[in-house]
Each structure stands twice: as C-alpha cells, then as structure tokens.
Amino acid sequence: MAAGRGARMWRFDAGRICLDLVATEPAGGVPGTCEQLDGPVHLARWLADARLVPPDTVLTALDDTWVARFHELRSAVSRLMAAQLGGPDADGSLERVNSLASGAPPGPRAVRGADGGLVRALSAAPDCAGLLAVVARDAVDLLTDPAARAALRRCQGEACHRLYLDTSRGGRRRWCSGEVCGNRERVARHRRRTLGSADGRGPGKEFPPGVE
C-alpha cells in the first residue's frame, strides 16, 4: 500500500509497522531519500494509511509536537534495528522504546457503518502517547522474537535504505521489494549488458566478477 504526495511515496510492505515508520526517515548518504513525515498533515495521512487509526479519523490534537515525538520514536527504532544488523550500539534507544511501549494503545470497537455492516472504530479519540505505544510495542515484539530478528534485513538496492523482514523460502531475498528495488536492479543489469555489448564484450555477456 502506498500513498503519493507529489513526487514522494510511502509503502507498507516491510513486514512490521515499526519498520514502515523507519522507512519514512531520510537516510544519510542515500541519494533521493527525504523526510516523509515533515509536518502534521503528512503524519495524519501516514497514521491513517498505516491503519493505526480508522479512515477519516479527525486528529484535532495532532500538531508539531506529535511529529517530533514520532521522529524520536522512529530514530530510536532505527538505531535498535541497525544495531541488530551489526551497527553501533543504540545507547538509550531501548529504554526510550520500552518507555513508549508502556503507554495504553487506543482501544478498538466495532460499530455499524453507513451500509449497516460492522466497521472498526476507536473507543476514544486517540492521543499521541497511545499511537506511539502501538508502534513501540511492535518494535518490542520484533526485537524479542528470535525468528523475526533473524529475518531482519536491509535492502541491497543502491538507492535504498529500507529495513524489512525476509520471509522468503531460504531467506535469500535481497531487496525490500522485488517490484521496486528488484526491478531497478534488473533494469540496471540490462543496461550494463547493453553497454557491454556496445563496448565489444559481446551481446548478453556479463561483466567480470566484481564489476557488477
């Protein structure tokens, strides 16, 4: 699932909502990445598209403070996941995520929709702490699940920094999305082969090991 805003898009295919949140941050050194949650309007859209709140939920209290707090959680989760993949220790991040996870998430309820069918609603207007708790608890669940931790990967796409859970058979998935980064790699490989043919390497021949 993706939501477009001008030239920017977000996706919800990382396998966990906490990883989808991390995917909205700009990545240092990765060209083309930008801040996707750059204000209350975009955060409100992300919360709805992530299904953390029902569609058309009006978050009247959402302001720049909410944005800053979600950025803080996102940074803590990002550092914790990077540490799981061999990065530097995430000093203080675990305590922060645990603290946010202790909040009370908004309670769901079933109500009659306009057509008479049951739809999901919230028992009370969601506050920032409750929504942060949903994402923080998801991060705690991932970090304390050995199988999920073992499936954690970072996309190998040249212009991608996304984290995802590799649930493929054999655990050999290289990209966050075969349709996005995988397709980019296939296009790039085809371009290299075409250039190689033009340079006299011969049609269809691969570059030597290490070049590609």
15 and 50 part of one domain: yes
Domain residues for 52?
Answer: 2-165
* pTM as predicted: 0.81
127 and 46 part of one domain: yes
Tens of pLDDT, residue by residue over 119-157, are: 999 999 999 999 999 999 999 999 999 999 999 999 988
Tell me the average pLDDT across 188-210. Answer: 54
Contacts of 91 (CB under 8 A, 6+ apart): none
- What's 66's domain CATH number? 1.10.3300.10
Tens of pLDDT, residue by residue over 30-72, are: 666 789 999 999 999 999 999 999 988 999 999 999 999 999 9
pLDDT at position 41: 95
pLDDT at position 84: 96
Contacts of 169 (CB under 8 A, 6+ apart): none
Rounded distance between C-alpha atoms, residue 34 and residue 43, angstroms:
14
Note whether residue 172 is domain-resident: no
203 and 154 part of one domain: no
Instruction: Estimate the crossing angle of helix 40-49 against helix 64-84, to 10 degrees.
Output: 60
As for how many domains the chain has, the answer is 2
190 and 106 part of one domain: no
